[in-house]
């Protein structure tokens, strides 16, 4: 499906189906007025009979003699409309349109001053909902659905002032779709090598991009002991992927992104229970997030320099695997006592964070499906942010609100640090039961001294039910953050 913006007046729009928003309690609708008497009469009838009252999520079709379908979408009371409701309602109606006979559709929603949602955000929500609604996972199915009964084109009505927001949302959608693809792909296919190939193919298409992939031999020479320890039990060797985008001035410090790319997390020798272990194919969603954000930034041609580090590693139990009790020397030189091989994300991230500092970034953000405790703390609604850098949480929070991909802060107070102290090394890799998300953040903080840095735990947001799979979160928030930085 092609998603385009349109500025055509509604009565000239030839799409098979036109979707119009309507608020509960409103007697008239400006779009209906424009469409003329034929539609207006049907509309008035429906309102009078109370067949359609504009209840949130309510859908009512009207028909024209030209054969067009006019779909009324209820949005509830205007002053009660939330970003979530707007997103979910448009998602649902576009998904239905995608399954209907319509080959083309247009959506006219421009909301009035009555709502709390500004027009830029509306444009972004609708565009991303549309992209989300059309996503189909078919990569590993032998039987692909035919495309005959499929929406081929969707137009979103935007005013001049919303055009930039529309383009931003389209780029976010590209990043989200890449992240979903990578996340959903099975772990026997989506290996470290596959992610490296995916990133390489993207970088080679773009003049302003460069790529460097470090293999395990190079990392061994460099002394990346912690990252390599996690990978040593797997036949799929680790890769450290460095993607570079030169969109800013030569002397401008880059923004660094770091992603956890565990392509499958068995837990290693500290083996995970069998139930739902398949979901640990999503343990590379941090990597998918930073690649998605990178793709969006390149598509928008943002005037920034961007460095994306992907630690792609598989965590397997094996005769060569690392074990509880091992003491590992990290790339930074700090030593780590492994008390649980399932706390592997922080092991690969610490070396990657240390490496990223060699590029003198202005700020470092890492994204990781790091702890089950994060799902307990924040559920599937918000990603967790931990930082000690003044103002950085606020910037991420703002970006999350603008893109409706929200984050929430957890503290990184020094008092938590003692939970990872140990007798046998500089630190241990687990902090015990209380505050598991925070002690994982504390561990990473020991490798980011003097850096402007934030850690984002996306264990609750990167994927959900079996059916939907990878969500592509928080690519929208990350992209919005990069847009905001580029405008500073």
Q: Choose from Mn ion, Zn ion, ligand BES, none: what does 442 bind? Cβ within 5-8 Å by kind.
A: none
- Does position 372 bind ligand BES by CB under 6 A? yes
DSSP code of 206?
A: -
- Does position 314 bind Mn ion by CB under 5 A? no
State which of positions 425-454 bind ligand BES (CB under 6 A): 430, 436
Q: Indicate the burial class of 201 (C-beta count within 10 angstroms; 0-12, 13-18, 19 or more).
A: exposed
Q: Choose from ligand BES, Zn ion, Mn ion, none: what does 125 bind? Cβ within 5-8 Å by kind.
A: none
Q: Choose from ligand BES, Zn ion, Mn ion, none: what does 314 bind? Cβ within 5-8 Å by kind.
A: none
Applying CB under 6 A, among 119, 332, 369, 451 the residue interacting with ligand BES is 369
Among 272, 280, 283, smallest CA distance to 370 is for 283
Please provide residue 473's backbone torsions phi and psi, each rounded to the nearest 5 degrees: -80, 150
Applying CB under 6 A, among 371, 402, 451, 471 the residue interacting with ligand BES is 371
Pick 235 or 275: Cβ nearer ligand BES: 275
| Min CB(284)–Mn ion separation in Å | 12
Q: Choose from Mn ion, ligand BES, Zn ion, none: what does 469 bind? Cβ within 5-8 Å by kind.
A: none
Pick 299 or 344: Cβ nearer ligand BES: 344
| Min CB(469)–Zn ion separation in Å | 17
Rounded Cα distance, 32 and 45, in Å: 13
Q: Choose from Mn ion, Zn ion, ligand BES, none: what does 253 bind? Cβ within 5-8 Å by kind.
A: none
Told to judge if 323 belongs to the known catalytic residues of this protein, a careful annotator would answer: no
Is the N-terminal amide bond of 474 cis, ω within 30° of 0? yes
Sole window of 187-195, 240-248, 263-271, 385-393 interacting with Mn ion (rule: CB under 5 A):
263-271
Sign, Cα dihedral of 2, 5, 8, 11? positive
Give the angle subtended at the CA of 102 by the CAs of 469 and 145, to the nearest 5°: 45
Residues 398-413: b if buried by 16+ CB within 10 A, e if exposed: ebbebbbbbbebbebe
Told to judge if 272 belongs to the known catalytic residues of this protein, a careful annotator would answer: yes
Cross-strand bridge partners of residue 256 = 307, 364
- Does position 314 bind ligand BES by CB under 6 A? no
- Does position 474 bind ligand BES by CB under 6 A? no
| Min CB(343)–Zn ion separation in Å | 8
- Does position 134 bind Mn ion by CB under 5 A? no
- Does position 265 bind Mn ion by CB under 5 A? yes
3-state secondary structure at position 258:
strand
Rounded Cα distance, 265 and 320, in Å: 16
Residues 86, 125: contact at Cβ < 8 Å?
A: yes
Token pair listed for 23:
């608020």
Cross-strand bridge partners of residue 242 = 212, 309
Sole window of 287-295, 324-332, 334-342, 358-366 interacting with Mn ion (rule: CB under 5 A):
334-342
Give residues in contact with Zn ion (CB under 5 A).
262, 265, 283, 345
| Min CB(267)–Mn ion separation in Å | 5
Applying CB under 5 A, among 299, 342, 366, 457 the residue interacting with Mn ion is 342
| Min CB(379)–ligand BES separation in Å | 12
Sole window of 26-34, 57-65, 370-378, 419-427 interacting with ligand BES (rule: CB under 6 A):
370-378
Pick 262 or 482: Cβ nearer Zn ion: 262
DSSP code of 249?
A: -
Rounded Cα distance, 302 and 164, in Å: 13
Give the angle subtended at the CA of 214 by the CAs of 284 and 201, to the nearest 5°: 65
How many residues of this chain interact with ligand BES, rule: CB under 6 A? 16
Rounded to 10 deg, the angle between the 192-205 and 285-300 helix axes is: 0
For ligand BES, the nearest residue by Cβ is: 372
Among 20, 2, 24, smallest CA distance to 11 is for 20
- Does position 26 bind ligand BES by CB under 6 A? no
Among 42, 34, 155, 165, smallest CA distance to 105 is for 155
- Residue 235's CB is within 10 A of a number of other CB atoms, namely 9
Pick 69 or 410: Cβ nearer ligand BES: 410
CB half-sphere exposure, 10, CA atoms < 13 A: 27
CB half-sphere exposure, 90, CA atoms < 13 A: 29
Pick 265 or 457: Cβ nearer Mn ion: 265
Pick 20 or 284: Cβ nearer ligand BES: 284
Catalytic one of 92, 193, 208, 272 = 272
Catalytic one of 170, 239, 346, 452 = 346
- What is the pattern of x (binds ligand BES, CB under 6 A) and - over residues 381-420? ----------------------------------------
CB half-sphere exposure, 60, CA atoms < 13 A: 22
Token pair listed for 111:
């909301």
Contacting positions for ligand BES (CB under 6 A): 265, 283, 340, 342-345, 369-373, 375, 430, 436, 459
Residues annotated as catalytic are 272, 346
Contacting positions for Mn ion (CB under 5 A): 265, 342, 344
């Amino acid at each position: 499906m092609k998603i385009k913006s349109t500025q055509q007046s509604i009565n000239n729009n030839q799409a098979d189906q036109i979707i119009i928003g309507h608020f509960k309690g409103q007697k008239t609708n400006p779009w209906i007025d424009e469409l003329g008497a034929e539609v207006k009469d049907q509309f008035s009838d429906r309102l009078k009979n109370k067949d359609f009252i504009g209840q949130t999520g309510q859908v009512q079709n009207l028909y024209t003699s030209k054969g067009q379908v006019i779909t009324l979408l209820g949005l509830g009371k205007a002053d009660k409309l939330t970003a979530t409701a707007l997103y979910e309602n448009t998602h649902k109606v576009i998904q239905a349109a995608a399954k209907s006979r319509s080959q083309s559709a247009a959506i006219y929603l421009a909301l009035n001053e009555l709502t709390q949602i500004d027009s830029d955000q509306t444009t972004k929500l609708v565009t991303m909902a549309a992209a989300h609604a059309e996503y189909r996972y078919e990569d590993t199915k032998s039987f692909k659905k035919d495309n005959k009964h499929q929406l081929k084109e969707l137009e979103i009505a935007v005013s001049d002032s919303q055009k930039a927001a529309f383009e931003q949302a389209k780029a976010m959608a590209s990043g989200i779709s890449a992240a979903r693809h990578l996340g959903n792909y099975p772990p026997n296919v989506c290996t470290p090598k596959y992610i490296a190939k995916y990133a390489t193919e993207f970088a080679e298409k773009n003049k302003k991009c460069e790529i460097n992939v470090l293999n395990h031999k190079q990392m061994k020479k460099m002394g990346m002991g912690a990252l390599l320890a996690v990978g040593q039990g797997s036949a799929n060797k680790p890769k450290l992927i460095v993607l570079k985008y030169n969109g800013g001035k030569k002397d401008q410090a880059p923004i660094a992104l770091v992603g956890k790319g565990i392509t499958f997390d068995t837990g290693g020798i500290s083996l995970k229970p069998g139930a739902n272990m398949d979901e640990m194919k999503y343990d590379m969603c941090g990597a998918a997030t930073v690649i998605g954000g990178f793709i969006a930034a390149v598509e928008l041609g943002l005037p920034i320099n961007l460095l994306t580090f992907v630690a792609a590693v598989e965590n397997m139990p094996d005769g060569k695997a690392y074990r509880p009790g091992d003491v590992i020397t990290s790339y930074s030189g700090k030593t780590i006592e492994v008390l649980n091989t399932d706390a592997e994300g922080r092991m690969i991230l610490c070396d990657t964070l240390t490496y990223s500092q060699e590029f003198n970034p202005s700020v470092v953000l890492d994204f990781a499906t790091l702890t089950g405790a994060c799902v307990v703390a924040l559920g599937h609604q918000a990603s967790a942010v931990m930082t000690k850098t003044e103002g950085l949480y606020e910037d991420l929070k703002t970006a999350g609100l603008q893109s409706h991909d929200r984050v929430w802060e957890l503290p990184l107070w020094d008092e938590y640090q003692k939970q990872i102290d140990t007798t046998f090394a500089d630190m241990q890799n687990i902090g015990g039961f209380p505050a598991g998300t925070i002690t994982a953040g504390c561990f990473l903080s020991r490798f980011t001294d003097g850096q402007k840095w934030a850690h984002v735990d996306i264990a609750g947001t990167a994927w959900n039910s079996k059916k939907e799979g990878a969500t592509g979160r928080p690519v929208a928030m990350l992209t919005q953050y990069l847009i905001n930085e580029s405008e500073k």
